[in-house]
Amino acid sequence: MAISFAELKGTHPCFAVGAKSNKGRVHLPVSPGCNIQCRFCDRRLNDVDVRPGVASAIITPQEALEVVKKAVALCPDITVAGVAGPGDTLATPYALDTFRLIKRELPGIIKCMSTNGLLLPQYANEIIDVGIDSLTVTVNAVDPRLQAQICGGITYAGARYAGAEAAEILIHNQLTGIKAVAAAGVTIKVNTVLIPQINAAHVQEVAKTVREAGAKIFNVIPLIPQHELAWCSAPDCALISKVRGEAERYINVFRHCQRCRADAAGIPGGKDVSKELYIRPVKLENTFSHG
């Protein structure tokens, strides 16, 4: 049985509505590949960027289990083991393999996973069976015309799709998957990247739609203009506040996102133990991923 949303608000740092939680998490970079091409995303291995989509290295599920054990020993306030990349967690089998090991050997740890949702309907039952307590799905638009401006294409069922066709498949799978996993009692958080020139006026529709599908909490992530969306502007504080307020008409909104690395460990905004867990090569990259 997955932990309830009410419990997660006190034990998971990304579900604290209101005052910031003092709980921690360890992100396990076991997922190397992705199956969609977000126009703002440039996954990298380095020791510099503090953002989603970045890790020092890819590790194996067995190595990830040992990392969790060491992380909890270093920081007892860590309550969550999560996989958030640097690629998509369902594009390769390693995230679910990792959670099977954690379920068997560390049953008290909250299991958290992030995905773009393309393969969510296909893996919904496995996500439920492995005991994921919280699932984050990145949904940047529920209008195919807007989604096609944000995501250049997808690789799905052995074929490559682009434009509105790709957007329709992705949106359908995201919402279908959210409904299936939420119906099993798993708490769903939705991340939406706020892109002023594309989806600023649309975010409240995303919030309304995903709430109807079963999501419990919503996170508006401001774009860092990079890659194919370098021409866009970063949203200012006034726009972020406005959009969050609009979304909050429909769903609980999380306001303390640190845009964590895929190998972050410790208390967000506080104690960081990641450098004691991972060896990090230094390579400067200033990019941004879907998270």
Cα diameter, the chain: 48
Q: Are the C-beta atoms of 206 and 142 separated by less than 8 Å?
A: yes
Q: Which two tokens stand for residue 30?
A: 């076991």
Supply the DSSP symbol for 133: S
Which H or E element spans position 162?
strand 159-162
* Amino acid, res. 150: I
Map tokens 């972050």 to a residue. 264
Q: Are the C-beta atoms of 39 and 150 separated by less than 8 Å?
A: yes
Q: How far does Cα 156 stand from its chain's mean position?
A: 20
Q: What is the mean pLDDT of the chain?
A: 89
Peptide bond into 225 cis (omega under 30): no
Bridge partners, 114 (sequence order) = 136
Helical packing angle, 94-105 and 120-129, nearest 10°: 10
pLDDT score at 19: 54
Give me the domains of the chain, ranges plus CATH numbers.
5-276 (3.20.20.70)
Quickly count: other Cβ atoms within 10 Å of residue 170's Cβ: 27
pLDDT tens digits, 80-109: 999 988 999 999 999 999 999 999 999 999
CA pair distance 149, 223, nearest whole angstrom = 14
Map tokens 């067995």 to a residue. 62
pLDDT score at 283: 43
Ramachandran category for residue 150: left, alpha or beta (phi over 0 → left; psi -120 to 50 → alpha):
alpha
Q: What 3-state DSSP class applies to 72?
A: helix
CA distances from 57 to 84, 97, 279, 291 (A): 13, 18, 8, 16
Under-50 pLDDT residues of the chain: 280-291
Strands 187-194 and 54-55: unpaired
